Amino acid sequence: MTRRAQTRGALLGALLVLCGQAAACDPSCQRVCRKLVSECEGVETPRLGQEDCEAWCNNQESLYDEWNDTQLRADFSDYKQCVVGEECGAIEEGACYDEDLYAF
């Protein structure tokens, strides 16, 4: 492997590590839903399963993009980061709830 390839690989690895820790990285709907549906069985969700959850999540993101509402998009990204980062018990207690996203 060339020195350039090694450097490129190291930079990519560092970027992936930083992305996993940085607030600017937006978790995928698949990852968020896996946590909500599979790992946190005590969290009440109207979605019946992984596919329904992902469809809801992707539709929510598309809607905010369609509206060009950067604040709601940022709030939704924060919500997804919270779900991925919090313990299931904290999610059940409302740690990630945002009344701007869920008015009722």
Q: What does the pLDDT read at residue 100?
A: 84
In the structure, what pLDDT confidence band is assigned to residue 10 with cuts at 50, 70 and 90?
very low
Domains of the chain, residue spans: 26-92
Model-level pTM greater than 0.75?
Answer: no
Q: Tens digits of per-residue pLDDT, 85-96?
A: 999 999 999 999
In the structure, what pLDDT confidence band is assigned to residue 25 with cuts at 50, 70 and 90?
confident
Residue with tokens 């930079």: 11
Residues 6+ apart with CB under 8 A from 69: none
CA distance 101 to 34: 20
The residue-averaged pLDDT of 59-74 equals 93
CA 21 to chain centre: 12
CA distance 21 to 62: 25
Q: Tens digits of per-residue pLDDT, 35-62?
A: 999 999 878 776 678 999 999 999 999 9
Q: What does the pLDDT read at residue 64?
A: 93
The answer on pLDDT for 20 being more than 50 is no
